Amino acid sequence: MKAGKKTKDYHHGDLRRAVIDAAWSLVARRGLNELTLREVARQVGVTHAAPYHHFKDREALLSVMTGEAFAEFDLALQRAKQGVSDPLEELYALGAAYTDFARERPERIEVMFRRKDAPDAVLLDTGKSTFQHLVDALVHCQEAGVAPAGDPLELALSAWSIVHGFAVLWVEGPLTAMEPYVGKFEPLRDRLLRSFGEWLSAAARETGRAHDGQDPS
Amino acid sequence: MKAGKKTKDYHHGDLRRAVIDAAWSLVARRGLNELTLREVARQVGVTHAAPYHHFKDREALLSVMTGEAFAEFDLALQRAKQGVSDPLEELYALGAAYTDFARERPERIEVMFRRKDAPDAVLLDTGKSTFQHLVDALVHCQEAGVAPAGDPLELALSAWSIVHGFAVLWVEGPLTAMEPYVGKFEPLRDRLLRSFGEWLSAAARETGRAHDGQDPS
DNA sequence: TGTACATCAGTGAACGCGCGTTCACTGATGTAC
DNA sequence: TGTACATCAGTGAACGCGCGTTCACTGATGTAC
């Protein structure tokens, strides 16, 4: 095979990229605590010292991976809400994107959420920007009168909890293994999200009635 | 200090118990992947080979711990619903017990949910019996007409998702670190659970109206 | 185009470490009589 | 109560392993002239 159009093409091609990819694959197959630089080097077919020309140490590799995962996740959510104008549909799209990402890229979730030693500042910033998608969608729902008034952050916490809970229950095994649920990811996900939406709009209607039908702001 | 009333009082007192306790403390402080038999032995003040008289290997210790964690968790849920007759209150009590357990004993949650190599049969059985509390509570709610009709397993999945999501978001850091939420565990938990209850009863009422006010079965 | 030199990526040996597990042992506890 | 023996729990040395990281090296690539 002819070498690709990579910029760095001297020895390996692009070892940096290859190391990161192998690391993702390793986390996916064996989990975060099984991620070792030596095994990654082995997978790539390179001496165990070679990766040190691209990453200061194991932590530096994990740091790059965390950044990638958050960027991918954020992109997935951004794409999901693109072109969706109905606020409840926007919420569904975000929820589906969240859970689908977790199911399709569980290793990303593991790296994003399970690092004990995650650098707080970075994780907080990127985590917040992702969380912001949910907050925005709920504000849109409130403006359209399909979500109850009140602190949108609190509604967002509900949405985050239900979506994250469903995602990790699925990723971590309980749901994939339990009899009545096995193989029913999509329908369960859809009904869960629809139910949440109905909850929101029903609550908005009741609030409206309680206030003698004043329009939502 | 005089030796207690332990049955086994020859050498250490009760090394088996001490090892398990030290292991829990170690997981709590440093995480599951930092749990090593040698460190545990060190903490207990005993040679690193001593624990092998009580546990065949590291896996055997973890297996015992998993059993303990599920038993404790189950007990916590059972206690929570004791003496509570109102079905929605029962659901709140269960949800609060679930999240409180996760916050107070995060190491139990880690061992119960994060083991990649958990023996499926055992985990499934105990996990199911715990999950059954939620299903029961939702059936009670349906019978009382404060939850919509339909498959209770599906409602239970919603409840499980929201409660588990809230719990792990808290335990894993995102929520404890995010500005507007820090330090507000109890009020957020209560409002989340109440909201879920209102969702259920509102949905039940709407279903009732749609069916021309027929009584819930 | 050709040569001399600098830079850079990967090599392979070596280090020290902590781990799980095994083993022959020893000393303390329990038991039969 | 006393003695002989069996059992059992903890000891300390030893094994082999895979890890992260460092180091002097080498050979390939890029660059100045």
Amino acid at B181: Y
Task: Say yes or no to pLDDT of B32 above 90.
Answer: yes
Q: Print burial letters for B74-110: b (CB count within 10 Å at least 16), e (below 16).
A: bebbeebbeeeeebbebbbbbbbbbbbbbbebbbbbb
d(CA A161, CA B150) in angstroms, rounded, equals: 23
Helices A185-210 and B152-171: crossing angle in degrees, nearest 10, is 90
How is residue A57 written in tokens?
């140490």
Chain A environment of B31 (Cβ under 8 Å): 116
Single pTM value for the model: 0.90
The reported pLDDT for the residue numbered B2 is 32
Radius of gyration of chain B (CA): 21
Q: A178 CB near a chain B CB, below 8 Å?
A: yes
Cβ atoms of B116 and B184 within 8 Å: the answer is: no
Task: Say yes or no to pLDDT of B211 above 60.
Answer: no
Q: A165 CB near a chain B CB, below 8 Å?
A: yes
The reported pLDDT for the residue numbered B114 is 76
Cβ atoms of B168 and A164 within 8 Å: the answer is: yes
Q: Print burial letters for B33-60: b (CB count within 10 Å at least 16), e (below 16).
A: eebebeebbeebebeeebbeebbeeeee
Task: Say yes or no to pLDDT of B7 above 50.
Answer: no
Name the nucleotide nearest A44; use CA and C1'.
C10
Q: B177 CB near a chain A CB, below 8 Å?
A: yes
Q: How many Cα atoms within 13 Å fall on the side-chain side of residue A157?
A: 30
Higher pLDDT, B198 or B128: B198
Cβ atoms of B126 and B193 within 8 Å: the answer is: no
Phi, psi for B103 (deg, rounded to 5): -75, -35
Chain B environment of A30 (Cβ under 8 Å): 116
The reported pLDDT for the residue numbered B8 is 42
Alpha-carbon separation of residue A180 from A20, A170, A184, B47, B118 (angstroms): 37, 13, 8, 48, 20
Q: Residue A57 CA to nucleotide D20 C1', Å?
A: 8
Task: Say yes or no to pLDDT of B3 above 50.
Answer: no
The reported pLDDT for the residue numbered B172 is 85
Task: Say yes or no to pLDDT of B151 above 60.
Answer: yes
User: pLDDT tens for residues B129-149?
Assistant: 888 999 999 999 999 999 999
Task: Say yes or no to pLDDT of B48 above 80.
Answer: yes
The reported pLDDT for the residue numbered B123 is 65
Q: Residue B10 CA to nucleotide C30 C1', Å?
A: 10
Residue nearest to nucleotide C27 (CA to C1'): B11
The reported pLDDT for the residue numbered B217 is 42
Which residues 6+ apart lie within 8 Å of A3 measured at CB?
A: A9, A13
Q: Which of A74, A113, A128, A125 is nearest to A97 (CA)?
A: A74
The reported pLDDT for the residue numbered A5 is 33
Q: Compute the C-alpha angle B26/B29/B35, nearest 5°.
A: 35
Q: Which of A112-126, B57-71, B191-205 has the lowest mean pLDDT?
A: A112-126
Judge: B164–A168 Cβ closer than 8 Å, yes or no. Answer: yes
Name the nucleotide nearest B10; use CA and C1'.
C29
Q: Which of B158, B198, B202 sits opposite A162 (nearest CB)?
A: B158
Per-residue pLDDT of chain A (217 residues; tens, 9 = 90+): 333 333 344 466 799 999 999 999 999 999 999 999 999 999 999 999 999 999 999 999 999 999 999 999 999 999 999 999 999 999 999 999 999 999 999 999 999 987 776 656 666 777 788 889 999 999 999 999 999 999 999 999 999 999 999 999 998 877 777 888 888 999 999 999 999 999 899 888 877 776 554 444 4
Radius of gyration of chain A (CA): 21
